[in-house]
């Protein structure tokens, strides 16, 4: 959102409505197997962010890719029952991809923001990214993030970063 504000002016009027839609749709997400998070031109950074949340909070095996890239590369490591989350509003291309992935046996999640405004769509998917991690932590009764519990891994990370 900060990057968008550097190149264009925008005003989001429906923040509460967008958040409530994201909350409702995120509660329905069931993560299984390996998780693939797919984004487009605008939502690829959000797919990456969501993967980071799933690593840090839940310690899950998550991968992010551009939607176009996924069909050429990551798809070939997918197994039946894995989860694919598409961070793009439903359109002909993404719906066709979802249909084929479901036929193969993948669990596909494609949420639909109730807006056509690109900034609101981006905000919706940012909320979704945070809420998926939160709701799955609650379902599993996780009180501390994975990175807090994984002290040895955290020590490796800290020694490399700091």
Q: pLDDT per residue over 72-130, tens digit each?
A: 999 999 999 999 999 998 899 999 999 999 999 999 999 999 988 888 999 999 999 99
CA distance 2 to 12: 13
Residues across the chain: 162
What does CATH list as the number for 33-161?
3.40.50.10490
CA distance 61 to 85: 13
What are the tokens at 70?
A: 């996924």
Cβ(32)–Cβ(81) below 8 Å: yes
3-state secondary structure of 83: strand
**Which secondary-structure segment (H or E) carries 9?**
none
7 vs 104, more confident: 104
pTM for the complete prediction? Answer: 0.89
CA distance 7 to 119: 12
What are the tokens at 143?
A: 């009180």
Reported as a single tens digit per residue, the pLDDT across 12-68 is 678 899 999 999 999 999 999 999 999 999 999 999 999 999 999 999 999 999 999
- Boundaries of every domain in the chain: 33-161
User: 106: closest CA among 124, 125, 86?
Assistant: 86
Averaged over 133-156, what is the pLDDT? 92
Identify the residue whose tokens are 């991690």.
133
Identify the residue whose tokens are 């095996």.
61
Cβ(60)–Cβ(51) below 8 Å: no
CA distance 103 to 8: 41
pLDDT band at 5 (very low <50, low <70, confident <90, very high): low
Cβ(10)–Cβ(119) below 8 Å: yes
Cβ(31)–Cβ(59) below 8 Å: no
């Amino acid at each position: 959102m900060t990057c968008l504000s550097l190149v264009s002016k925008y005003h989001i009027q429906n923040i509460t409505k967008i958040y409530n839609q994201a909350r409702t749709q995120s509660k329905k997400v069931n993560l299984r197997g390996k998780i693939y998070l797919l984004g487009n031109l605008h939502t690829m950074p959000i797919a990456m962010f969501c993967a980071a949340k799933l690593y840090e909070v839940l310690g899950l095996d998550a991968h992010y890719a551009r939607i176009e890239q996924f069909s050429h590369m990551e798809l070939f490591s997918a197994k039946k029952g894995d989860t694919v989350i598409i961070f793009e509003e439903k359109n002909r291309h993404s719906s066709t991809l979802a249909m084929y992935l479901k036929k193969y046996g993948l669990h596909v999640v494609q949420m639909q923001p109730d807006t056509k405004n690109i900034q609101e769509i981006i905000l919706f998917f940012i909320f979704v990214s945070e809420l998926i991690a939160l709701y799955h932590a609650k379902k599993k009764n996780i009180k501390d993030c994975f990175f807090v519990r994984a002290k040895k891994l955290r020590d490796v990370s800290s020694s490399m970063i700091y």
